[in-house]
A and B are shown apart, each in its own frame.
Chain A
C-alpha cells in the first residue's frame, strides 16, 4: 500500500475498524468507520466497531448527542489516534457489525489486491 506521502484518489476510502486506526498505513488517510455510538459529549464521540474496540471521533459539535441512530458510518481523516469527522451517515438502529467486520478484514488483508487497486492510491 501507499506510504505516508501518498495521495489518495478523491472519493475512495478504505473501510476500517478501531484497531486499524492505529496502523501506520492508514495514517492521514480518509477512511470509513462503521460502529455503534457508545458516548457523545458534544465535541467528540466514541464508536465501538465490529472488533470490539473503540475509536474516538472528533466532530466538534457536528453531531448532536442523542440525535443519531444507534449505528453510524463516519467518513473522516485518521489523525494520530482519533478520526477527524467529515461526514456522518446514519446506518439505522440494527446492524450486523460482526459480519461487516469479517468483510472488511478480508478486504484489508487477504483480498487487498482486489479492494485497493493501484489506480486508487497513487504513490
Chain B
C-alpha cells in the first residue's frame, strides 16, 4: 500500500522519495534532526545545514583522525572529521549522541560507499540517547546510480545494480571512479578535456580524494635546497599556489620531481595542478592559509594557463614602515615601498652549517615617511642589483622583523617579492615618491647596527632622561636609543691608563680585541690565540658622563667611540706620552674633549652587579653634531610647536 505522503515533508516539496525511504512518523525526530538528510546527502542531493546526531565517534589510524556515524533518525552514514574539527572532540563538545549541524561538508566515495567529510559543523546540543532506530543507508533500497539533480524528479526507474561507485554520468569532481579509487600514484588522468570542469577550490582539498585539480598562481618559488643525512640525500623546493578564492597552499617537490619541475615553473604565472599527496600542514614552517599541503610526485601534472585576472597576484596585509618600530621582532609582516638603494652582495658563513650565504641589503621607504633595511638572502640577493634598479615600487610578503640596527627586515625562504604589483598601493607609493619622497628626509629605522653607523634622525632621538623615564634596559634584550648630549666628565684616572692591553693579532680569533696578560719578561701572552707578543695594542675602555638639558648618565666607552671623542689619538699614543712624562699632552686630549657635543647611539641593559640590578649604558657609536643641520631640525621642530 502506498503510504500517504508524510506530513513531515512540506507539501511544496517537489522531491518525492521511493517508499522505502519515507520516514516513519516520529515527532521527536522532526524537531531535532533534519529528516532524510542522510539519504539525500548520500544521493548528492543538496541539503543545507542539516542537523544530524553523532551516534558514534571513533579514533582511527595512527594520527588524530575521527570517524563518526551520523544519523538523521532514520538512516545512518559514515563520516570523517576534517582535522580542524578535532578540537571539538578534544574539548568534549562533540560527544556521542550529540546533535550537530553540518555547516559545510562534502561527500566522498570510498570503496563504493559514500562517506561524508565534515569540514565545518556546529554543536546544537547534547542528547541522552540515540534517536530512533536508524539503519545503514545502504541497506535500504537506494538508487545509487541515479543522476545528480539538486531537486530531483520522481524516481521512477528501477534501481540499477548497486554499487559501482558512480556512473560516468557524473561530472562530480568529488567522486572517485571505483576502479581507480585509493590507488596512490598511477598515471595522470585521461581525458584532459574534462579537467577544466574538475577544478576545485584549494579549500576543498583533503587527503581522502586523490583525483583533484586546482588552478592557481605561483606566488612564491623557494630556492632548490639539498640535504644529506644518514638516511640519504636529495633535493627539494617548494611553491606557494594562490587560487581565485584567495586561499593559498604550499606544494613541495622532491628529488627527481624537483629536478623535473624547477626550471619549468615560474612565479606569477597561472597553472593547473593535479596529482600529489595531501597532508596536514605544519604551521611552524608553513604560513599558507590552507591547512593542508601538497607533496607532488610522479603523478603530478602541471599545465600552464593563460593569465587569469580573477586570481590575485598575492594577498598582502601591508604594515606601514614607520609602525615597524612597535612591531615585535620575529613577527612576519608585509610591506610595500620604493627600493631606494641596493648594497653590494656580501657573503656570510653560517655558523651552524658552515655554508656560505649570500646576502644583500635594500633600503625600502614608503609614504609613512620612514625607511627600513630589508636583507635578501640567497638567489634573491644575487639578482637584486639588476632586479631593483631604478627605484621601483616593490611589495614584500612574509618578511621577518628583527631588532638588528634598531629595526630591520629579512627574507625567509617563504617570503615573496613582487615588483610593481597590480594593486592600488603601487600607484599610491609611486606618486608619493615622485612628489616628495626622493628628496625629503625619511625616518630611518635601521641605523646600520654593525655597519656604517648611520646617524639617527632628529625625530627618532630621545633625551638622556628617557633612560630613566622609560625604564629602559629591563627587557630580555637590550634597549637602544639615541640622544644628543655633551660630555661633562671623563673618568680617566684608572691605574695604568684608561685602556687595556689587547692582542696585536688583527685576524681571527682575536681581531685585536682580546685581553693579553703581561708576562714576567715584559712580553704579552694572549689566551685566545695562545701566542706571545712583545708588543700589545692598547684599546680604550673608560666611562664618561653625558649630559643634556634633561639629565646626566654614565656610559661606557670602548675603543672606537673613544677614538672619535679624543680626536683620533690612540691609546698607544697617550701611553707613550705618559711614559715620557708628557702629562700636559695627555691631559689636553681629555680637556679638549670635555664639553663637546655628540649624537650618541646607546645600548641600555640591566645587569646583575654584585647582587644588585644596575642599568648599564654603553655608547655604541657617537657622531659629532652637525650644527647647521641640527639648527635646521630644531627650527623645524619649533615651527611644529604652533
Contact = CB atoms under 8 A, between A and B. Distances in A.
Interface string A98-120: 01101100100000000000000
Contacts of A102: 635
Contacts of B638: 106
B631 interface: yes
Interface string B454-497: 00000000000000000000000000000000000000000000
Nearest to B632: A99
Interface string A17-47: 0000000000000000000000000000000
Contacts, number: 13
Interface residues of B, number: 5
B635 A96 contact: no
B631 A100 contact: yes
B609 interface: no
A106 B640 CA distance: 13
B1 interface: no
B638 to A, nearest CB: 7
Contacts of A100: 631
A102 B631 CA distance: 10
A96 B631 CA distance: 10
Nearest to B627: A96
A100 to B, nearest CB: 7
A67 B304 CA distance: 80
A103 B628 contact: no
Contacts of B632: 96, 99
A4 to B, nearest CB: 31
Interface residues of A, number: 6
Contacts of A96: 628, 631-632
A102 B633 CA distance: 12
A99 B631 CA distance: 7
Contacts of B628: 96, 99
A97 to B, nearest CB: 10
A106 B638 CA distance: 9
Nearest to B631: A99
A102 B636 CA distance: 10
A99 B629 CA distance: 9
A123 B628 CA distance: 36
Contacts of A106: 635, 638
A103 B632 CA distance: 9
A93 to B, nearest CB: 14
A96 B635 CA distance: 13
Contacts of B631: 96, 99-100, 103
A69 B611 CA distance: 59
A102 B638 CA distance: 11
A4 B310 CA distance: 81
A105 to B, nearest CB: 10
Nearest to A111: B638
A95 to B, nearest CB: 8
A91 to B, nearest CB: 12
A112 to B, nearest CB: 14
A96 B626 CA distance: 11
**Most B-side CB within 10 Å, residue of A99, A100, A103:** A99
Nearest to B635: A102
A56 to B, nearest CB: 27
A90 to B, nearest CB: 16
Contacts of A103: 631, 635
A102 B628 CA distance: 12
Contacts of A99: 628, 631-632, 635
A103 B634 CA distance: 9
A14 B638 CA distance: 20
A42 B635 CA distance: 37
A96 B632 CA distance: 10
A100 B632 CA distance: 9
A70 to B, nearest CB: 15
Interface in A71-104: 96, 99-100, 102-103
Interface of A: 96, 99-100, 102-103, 106
13 contacts: A96-B628, A96-B631, A96-B632, A99-B628, A99-B631, A99-B632, A99-B635, A100-B631, A102-B635, A103-B631, A103-B635, A106-B635, A106-B638
Interface of B: 628, 631-632, 635, 638
Rank and list the top 9 A-B pairs by shortest CB-CB distance, nearest first. A96-B628, A99-B631, A102-B635, A99-B632, A99-B628, A103-B635, A103-B631, A106-B638, A99-B635
Given A102-B635, A106-B638, 10 more contacts: A96-B628, A96-B631, A96-B632, A99-B628, A99-B631, A99-B632, A99-B635, A103-B631, A103-B635, A106-B635
